[in-house]
Amino acid sequence: MRFAVTKVCGGGAKARAGMLQIAGSNIETPALLLSTRKGLPAFVSRDLLASLPLPDSLFLHVCPTHFMEGPPSKTISNIGGLHHMLGLPDHVLIAAAGDSIESLPTSEASNKFGASFETPAGRRLVKPSDYMELISCMKPNLWASLADEVPAWVTEKRNKVSVERTLRWLDACIALDEDSGANTLGVVVGGSSVEQRKLCATEVSKRNVSGFWIGGLGLGDSPEERCSILDAAVGCLPPEKPRVVSRLGLPEEVLEGVAAGIDLFDSTYIYQLTMGGFALIFPIDMVGKEMQNGSLNSSDGDFTKINLRATTYRKDTSRIVDSCSCFTCQNHTRAYLNHLLNVHEMLAQILLEIHNTHHYLCFFRLIRDTIKTGQFDRFRQQFVQDRRAYLAAAVI
């Protein structure tokens, strides 16, 4: 794996564009990791993955704890790893122990032996040796070390314990790794403590890791705390290695992360939208064309999304987004999606996830374009301003 920063915003800003060379592909950053359930997005099959924008859709976040109930890790290993089992030899699989759907970290049950997760099969304690056995069998391109993620409200003492455990488990994982950590993402934790975040980031940077995974966000932290946490962690990390963050999913959260210098985003936002019957609609072609008079020119319902379950779309024969080139928008109408959702057809989730994934990947492409053209700060400020204006009007 090779990573290079190709553009940094001027004026002391931290937002940056980069190029990640991995598994024979050159993928630009900032980029999105598509969340999966046992290797594939929840409602997008292997053949439908090919309909998504390339190479943007090559990043897949896989969760080793999803495979603790089967198939057996030895079976995956005998097949040749997860790439071969899924039939996705060209995709980039990035493994991390937890997610926000089926493997939630439970700090109160973690102990010195391992990290605890709430799974569909109950609470599971994962030891470094167990975790590395899964990693060895799955053979992902990159993997995040086991970490003790804690929510924002824990004590400073518990934050310190979290950092100590995470560093100890990182050393154990590297020692058990066949490549001695060459494909490892060191996890930065420390709850809402800025000092512990700095300490953890500094210590992880000393290890033989390929990049960094900033964990523990989205666990009760406020936007203000999140901003200081990101600044503290990123400020202690070397610039030549990629940075990944988990649980920043909303468009404004992603923009905040990019502004802090994050390169890759792991999020279940698309899954949550799809399950709720929502479709993304915010404009993604405004650079140099729609950013007129400091406005993003959007007026269709919610600034970012619409609820296709609503009766207002029962007879709406337009596309979800007129300019969208995804399979769903090219072949189906809002009225059809409304019908599928209200009769509880699974095809509704399939079509919605295709559109939402396509749209969000294009949003990340837009972010990269604004960084390259020096418009990112202006774009971010206007996007957040328009979003807040809509929310204020909705409340009134």
| 247 neighbors 266 (Cβ within 8 angstroms) | yes
What residues are designated binding site?
A: 324, 326, 329, 355
Nearest to 49, CA basis, from 282, 286, 358 = 358
What is the radius of gyration, based on Cα positions, of the chain?
21
Strand 115-119 relative to strand 122-126: parallel, antiparallel, unpaired? antiparallel
The H-or-E segment that residue 61 falls in is: strand 59-62
**Is omega for the bond preceding 55 within 30 degrees of 0, making it cis?**
yes
Q: Report DSSP letters for 155-188, one per residue.
A: -HHHHHHHHHHHHHHHHHHHHH-TTTTTTEEEEE
Measured between alpha carbons, how far is 268 from 221 in angstroms, rounded to an integer?
Answer: 17
Identify the H or E element spanning 96.
none
Residue positions in the annotated binding site for Zn(2+)? Answer: 324, 326, 329, 355
